[in-house]
Amino acid sequence: MSDAYSWRGGDEFLLRHGVNFPLQIIIIEPLFEESNRCRHLLVSVMRGLAANGIGSALPDLPGTGESLVDIRNVAFSDWHEALSAVVEMVQPVVIASLRGGALLDGGLSAKGYWRFAPETGARIVRDLRRTQLGGSALYAGHAISDAFLAALEVAPTVPTAPLRTLRLESDAGDADAKIAGSPLWRRAEPGDDPELAAALVADLTDWVTQCAER
């Protein structure tokens, strides 16, 4: 169902499944174009979680998705502030993030944290610049401000505990577990990977259950 959270006096889009379940999680999307490519996967994951009795909330960050805010007027720190508002509203057991979303979970209150294929800010900025072949980094046709890119480039992944990190088998980075699947965030045409979605649902369900008992 579509819901909304308040940020700076306006409403921002919040997709929810299983809103009445006592166990809730928040999902922080990959950043920029990668979020569109992973949307199908994330909606499948949310449905799967609901079938296991876990509710989930997927916010559109200000300046992205359905947001009426212009990305040119958004600072990287605004995203953290927006997510704090979602946390207050949803009271999640776990905050789950994908890719660059993992740069935003630090300091948000939850019993546990879960990251899938976390990526550094420097690599995301490099990718954004490369996509434009030397021009300014664009999102939905608008230039992302230099101040935003500078903040994103040095954004740390904040150590959070308890944390569980998953990566694809093809990814050489450190992880608690590696799973089979394709990097949908790189796909030129948005795709789906039902087996990957099912594996993520199973892993998240276990982790949420463990964290809820703490």
What is the binding site for another protein (CB under 8 A)?
A: 123, 126-127, 130-131, 133-134, 170-172, 182-183, 186-189, 191
- Residue 165's nearest CA partner among 122, 200, 193 is 200
| Smaller CB separation from another protein, 14 or 125 | 125
| Smaller CB separation from another protein, 189 or 213 | 189
Residue count (the chain)? 214
| Smaller CB separation from another protein, 105 or 127 | 127
**Distance between CA atoms of residues 105 and 115, nearest Å:** 9
| Smaller CB separation from another protein, 7 or 185 | 185
- Residue 179's nearest CA partner among 191, 171, 190, 187 is 171
CB 112 within 8 A of CB 210: yes
Quote the DSSP letter at residue 38: H
**Distance between CA atoms of residues 13 and 15, nearest Å:** 7
CB of 180 to another protein, least distance (A): 12
**Distance between CA atoms of residues 157 and 120, nearest Å:** 7
**Distance between CA atoms of residues 82 and 58, nearest Å:** 12
CB of 172 to another protein, least distance (A): 6
Q: For residue 23, give every residue at least 6 positions away whose Cβ sits within 8 Å of its Cβ, in sequence order, or none.
A: 53, 54, 55, 93, 208, 212
| Smaller CB separation from another protein, 53 or 191 | 191
CB of 158 to another protein, least distance (A): 22
**Distance between CA atoms of residues 19 and 57, nearest Å:** 8
CB of 124 to another protein, least distance (A): 10
CB of 187 to another protein, least distance (A): 6
| Smaller CB separation from another protein, 1 or 172 | 172
CB of 45 to another protein, least distance (A): 19
